[in-house]
Every structure is written in structure tokens, then in C-alpha cells.
Amino acid sequence: MKAYESRGRLAVIREDFGGEILVAGDLHGDLEAFERIKKLASSRPGSLLVFLGDYADRGPYGLEVVEGLVGLLKEREGSIIALKGNHEDYRGGAPYFSPCDLVEEVEVKKGMSWAEYFPRFEHGLLSRLHLAVLIPGIAVLVHGGISSKIRGVDDLADPSARVEEDILWSDPWEEEGECPNPRGAGVLFGPEVSEAFMRMIGVKFLVRSHEPAKAVTGPHVAHSGRIFTLSSTRVYGGRAFVLAFRPHPALTEGDLRRGAVGLL
């Protein structure tokens, strides 16, 4: 039985799922970290593995990570969820971000043009990516962040283009309110925005990646313990890790902090 059900772009964890949840942050072409994550998941039967996006670019093995993930989605169907990150934000076959090293990797390693490869990439991976994960009563998992444009769970399941962009690109900050993100997409959202979002959705935590440089020594915690930023890549230095926890209602900030499992 699948550990979750899909409601459009949202994966909702079954309320009777009592297994361990393993959450991996950005990979950015770190193949060794990806292989360690696979090994860790295999060593923990009954676990659910969630990737938060950004599989390629910046590191040297983006193509290998992407194709390994495609295989893993088939191998662990029902017990793996892969989210879309901003480095999976392609529009009309072209990347809406920079740098995009995957295009050059494909041409060099595959000996084929990006135009030839993209339909395979879109079918094998992009079309299978969720945008968010809901662990009822406990947490929402996304790549980037949230914004005040999100009015309820339906906006996670069937997002407008503007909501989707905010989920992929936004970052928390400690100032009041919300403002345009210097990245050029998404927003910076303050503590009262995350508090209102979590109250509306009925969860305690937001688990995200998107800023691995913040998490080079372990989970970066913000907004009074509500937001956890993860990194599973060594591209930015530091250690790669995943977050491991069981989804029980009494889960605390301390439990999540202690759930960091080093990979390398």
C-alpha cells in the first residue's frame, strides 16, 4: 500500500502511516550523497523517502543523479516522493534559472542535443514531481517556501502559476511581512506569514531546502522553531544529511533537530 495519496500536485501522507520519513534536501549533482541516501532508505524497511528538489546543476554529476532518481521512482513506487525544485523549473523546455549545467552535461555525456533529450527528461522526471507534501497535523514539505497567496490546502494541490512560483522560489526571513525576493522570483516571508500559514493548514512545521548554504552544519531552524532548512549536498561545503522522524502528533522541534542523519 502506498504511504501517501496524490491530490493533484500535493502528496498527502496517510494518517495511519507509522513508518519513518526520510527527507533529503538539495542534491545539486552530489552523486555520492544520492547513493548514500538510497542505501540509508534501503536499510530502513517501511520508510518513506522524500526528496525536496534541485537534483542537478552546480555539482558535476547532475545527469547521473537525475537518471538515478528516475530509476528509484520506479523501484520504490509508493514509498518515495520527489518534489519539484526551482532547478526543475523549465518553461517551454528552457530553464527558468541559472546556472543550468544539466544542458551541457547531456550534450557531453549523452552526445545528444538538449532538444532531443528534454522530452525524455520531462516524461521520466518532471511530469512525476509533486509540489508539496502534507503530513496532516504535523508538517508541510516544500522546496522553497510559502506566501500569503496560499489560501488553503487547495492551493497546494492545484496551485496557480504565481503560487507555484512562490513555493519554488521563496525564502524565510526574520523581518515583518512579505516582500519581493532578491532572487527575482518568489518572496521573502516573515514569521507572522509562516504562523498564519501553519495555523490555516493545521501543522506545526515547514520543512524546506532551497538555501543549502544555511544548513552546512545541520538543520537551520527559523521562525521560533517552525521552519527547518535542510541540505543533502556538499556543493556548498559542510556535511550532507537527511532528516529522519516518525510522524506522531507529539513531534517536537527537538525531535526534528535530533533527526539529522549525516551521509558523508
- What is the spatial distance between Cα 127 and Cα 121, in angstroms, rounded to a whole number? 9
The total number of structural domains that make up the chain: 1
Cis previous bond, 99, omega within 30: yes
Q: Which domain holds residue 258?
A: 4-262
Q: How high is the pLDDT of residue 264? A: 83
CATH number at residue 67: 3.60.21.10
Regions in the chain scoring below 70 on pLDDT: none
Angle at which helices 62-75 and 31-42 cross, to 10°: 20
At 36, which helix (H) or strand (E)? helix 31-42
- What is the spatial distance between Cα 74 and Cα 92, in angstroms, rounded to a whole number? 26
- As beta bridge partners, residue 220 has 229
- What is the spatial distance between Cα 147 and Cα 62, in angstroms, rounded to a whole number? 29
Strands 205-208 and 178-180: unpaired
**Residue 149 contacts residue 166 (beta carbons within 8 Å):** yes
- What is the spatial distance between Cα 260 and Cα 251, in angstroms, rounded to a whole number? 14
Q: How high is the pLDDT of residue 1? A: 81
pLDDT tens per residue across span 68-100: 999 999 999 999 999 999 999 999 999 999 999
Q: Could you tell me how far CA 187 lies from the centroid of its own chain?
A: 17
